[in-house]
Structure 1
Amino acid sequence: MNIVVDHVTKTIHRAVVLQDISLNFESGKVYGLQGENGSGKTMLLRLMCGLIYATEGSVSVNDRRLGKDLDFPESVGVMIESPAFIDEYTGQKNLELLAGLKQLISVSDIHNTLQAVGLDPNDKRTFKKYSLGMKQRLGIAAALMEKPDLLILDEPTNALDEQGVAMIAQLIRKECQRSALVVVACHDADFVQSVSDVVIQMQAGRVTSVIGK
């Protein structure tokens, strides 16, 4: 998968939230977005997965323009902001409900994904009884479970302990190894540096630097 962000500007209620951004993203790499709150990281993620469209410029996925040739990338796993699930369902049942929309994976696949993020597939607790860390892990599992070509994670380390942060770092590298395109926005600079092949620094809606390694 290849994503091209070409001279993109995004305006919301007359406020410019992204300004003249041009970037290229390729499969098999992890791209880390760094910047303070309000720097434009989440807006850029929303543009890349088709949740919003550019006011000026374009975002293209494999040479197909979002908002014109397709609504959103065909194979994408997304976790942006706080994970939202049905409070009365278990983690397993919530993921089964989501998986039923596309019917790409089995119950066994869901089982394995829950285990990979450190959750017990047989846990009978409902989502509303989950801790913040467990809710975060379930959100990560939902993004991962269908093995998407594009994986977008916004602040994946929120509410995770040191063991959980190490777990998500390992999962991100595994996704990269299977040639997924991974884009991570995170306030934790050390985490971004440790998992990313390319680090993109943002400030006030602009890209200020792109550093590859």
Structure 2
Amino acid sequence: MEYIEVKNVYKVIKGNIILENINLSLEKGKIYGFVGSNGAGKTMLFRTICGLIRPTEGEVVIDDKILSKEIDCPSSCGVILDTPGFWENQTGFECLKNIASIKSIIDEDTISLWMLKLGLNPKNKRVFRKYSLGMKQKLALAQAFMESPDLLILDEPTNALDEESIDNLKLILKKERIRGATILIASHNKRDIEELCDKVFKVDSGRIAEV
């Protein structure tokens, strides 16, 4: 049984077709890559699967539940979209602790563990606004991974990361796939996509095709 099904999805904004007849069947324990130029529709597709926007036509079904009808958003989802944003005057650990308090399914040790896995020191007293771009991206990744979600949606997850951090992220993603997560990645890095993904889709002018 498919974990996610995108059925005949269209998104029209101000008369412009942003997504056109998108059909996808995505399984658990697989990594899916999405490639395409800026503005091709990758991020809009991810927002649709997250439940952040509603399709003009068609539907997204996650674990047999229709998004925006039976559920508002995926019940277990880690997301990176756009520029990471956290509380400017809090430490990285404090930011993640605040987010974790919403569901209260992980403890402080788990937060610290994920920060360490991504190369951040949970005891560092530097506040978020003083983080480097790479540190901000690592914190966003820690936030996405820390609750072991069933679904990971990662838009350009290697942004601002050095080569060693990218290699580390690849190892983490492979372990998350083994755990059974469904992982969606948009990236301009063709090598990363080819190395990681079970299937790759090209998005072009709102249309999608398997590569």
- TM-score tier (shorter): over 0.9
CA distance in 1, matches of 2:29, 2:106: 22
**SS at 2:101's partner residue?**
helix
1:210 deviates by 1.2
CA–CA separation in structure 2 for the residues paired with 1:149 and 1:180: 5
* 1:25 alignment partner in structure 2: 26
Partner Cα distance (2:17, 2:131) in 1: 37
**Displacement, 1:183?**
0.4
Tell me which residue corresponds to 2:87: 86
Question: What is the Cα deviation at residue 164 of structure 1?
Answer: 1.4
One-letter code aligned to 2:109: S
Identity %: 43
In the alignment, what sits opposite 1:186? Answer: 187
Deviation at residue 171 of structure 1 after TM alignment: 1.2
- TM-score normalised by length of structure 2: 0.98
CA deviation digits over 1:38-95, x for unaligned, max 9?
1111011111111111101110001211011110010001110111000100000000
Distance in 2 of aligned mates of 1:13 and 1:100: 38
TM-score (norm 1): 0.97
Unaligned runs of 5+ in 2: none
Distance apart, 1:167 and its partner CA: 1.4
Partner of 1:198: 199
Structure 1 residue 30, shift from structure 2 partner? 0.2
Query: How much does 1:117 deviate?
Result: 0.6
Q: Deviations over 1:112-149 (max 9, x none)?
A: 00001111111110001100000000000000000000
Match status 1:155 vs 2:156: yes
SS of the counterpart of 1:67? coil
In the alignment, what sits opposite 1:112? 113
What number of residue pairs does the alignment pair up?
A: 210
SS at match of 1:36: coil
* C-alpha RMSD over aligned residues: 0.9
The worse-fitting range, judged by mean Cα deviation, of 100-109 and 164-173 is: 164-173
Q: How does 1:46-125 map to 2 (within 5 A)?
A: 46-125=47-126
CA deviations 1:136-191 (Å, max 9, x no partner) are 00000000000000011000011111111111111111110100000001111111
AA of the residue aligned to 1:210 = E
Structure 1 SS opposite 2:193: helix
Partner residue, 1:177? 178
Residue number in structure 2 paired with 1:44:
45
Q: Compute the displacement of 1:194 (Å).
A: 1.0
Which 4+ stretches in 1 moved above 4 angstroms?
none
Amino acid at match of 1:105: I
Deviation of the 1:96 alpha carbon? 0.1
